[in-house]
């Protein structure tokens, strides 16, 4: 019967819209699958934190080495100063002044070493926190990947079911009506059959005359929106 034309097309539209959604979601999953871009920020922050830690430790080693060399020099100069080997008063005075100057440098270096130790501890904490944030982000990313894999399997199953239903509907559809439907699907962004709701076409949201709505509800032939050209149905 003619009324069956729009009913079959209406259901076909529902199936095709569902398939469109599945394909769109499948595309988004394919784009996100294996994409580690969401981890880029925490990865960079982690690398920066560890680079800062390496730099802080290197600075500490450099200060320790300077301090060790200076202490060795002061020890050697002190031994020389009190060994009796230097007898010239001017040389003794100069050596004593040098030892005193080096001891002041040692004191300043020790302060810098202590400050650098604090900097290293702070860098270690920052690196540990960055590691923790990275681990949390990595775990969340893995959970999302697993969820997408499961969703993809569900989508494939649902898509197969919908394709089977679509094939059955295509067999039931009036050939000419089906051809019109397919043409509208291509030209109207996938939406060929739309409902009349509150006296408006739900495809273009334009109000339609009462007579047109009545024909969409009762006519045995397809009724088209006078504004957007889509097939109308009304319950």
pLDDT tens digits along 198-223: 999 999 999 999 999 999 999 889 99
pLDDT for the residue 84:
80
Threshold 0.85, pTM exceeds: no
Q: pLDDT class for 77, splitting at 50, 70, 90?
A: confident
Report the alpha-carbon distance of residue 5 to residue 32 in Å, rounded.
40
pLDDT for the residue 3:
43
Q: Mean of the pLDDT values across residues 122-128?
A: 98
Q: How many CB atoms lie within 10 A of CB 186?
A: 10
- Report the sign of the C-alpha dihedral through residues 217, 218, 220, 224, in that order: negative
Q: Would 3-31+174-233 and 33-170 be classified into the same CATH topology? A: yes
Q: Mean of the pLDDT values across residues 95-105?
A: 92
Task: State in words which class domain 33-170 has.
Answer: mainly alpha
Output DSSP code: residue 37: G
Task: State in words which class domain 3-31+174-233 has.
Answer: mainly alpha
Residues, the chain: 235
pLDDT for the residue 91:
84
Q: Where are the domains of the chain?
A: 3-31+174-233, 33-170
Q: pLDDT class for 2, splitting at 50, 70, 90?
A: very low
For the cut 50, the answer to whether the pLDDT of residue 64 exceeds it is yes
Percentage of the chain lying above the pLDDT 90 cut: 87
């Amino acid at each position: 019967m003619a009324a069956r034309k729009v009913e079959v097309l209406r259901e076909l539209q529902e199936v095709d819209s569902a398939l469109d959604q599945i394909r769109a979601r499948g595309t988004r999953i394919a784009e996100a699958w294996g994409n580690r871009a969401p981890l880029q920020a925490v990865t960079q922050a982690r690398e920066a934190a560890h680079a800062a830690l390496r730099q802080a430790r290197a600075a500490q080693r450099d200060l320790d080495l300077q301090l060790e060399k200076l202490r060795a020099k002061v020890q050697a100069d002190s031994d020389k100063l009190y060994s009796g080997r230097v007898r010239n008063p001017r040389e003794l005075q100069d050596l004593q002044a040098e030892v005193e100057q080096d001891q002041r440098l040692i004191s300043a270096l020790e302060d810098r070493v202590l400050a650098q130790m604090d900097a290293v501890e702070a860098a270690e904490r920052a690196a540990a926190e960055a590691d923790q944030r990275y681990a949390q982000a990595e775990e969340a990313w893995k959970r999302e990947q697993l969820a997408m894999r499961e969703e993809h399997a569900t989508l494939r199953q649902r898509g197969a079911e919908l394709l089977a239903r679509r094939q059955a509907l295509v067999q039931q559809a009036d050939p000419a009506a089906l051809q019109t439907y397919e043409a509208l699907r291509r030209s109207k962004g996938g939406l060929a059959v739309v409902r009349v709701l509150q006296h408006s076409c739900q495809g273009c949201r334009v109000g339609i005359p009462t007579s047109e709505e009545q024909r969409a509800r009762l006519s045995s032939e397809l009724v088209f929106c006078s504004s957007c050209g889509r097939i109308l149905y009304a319950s």
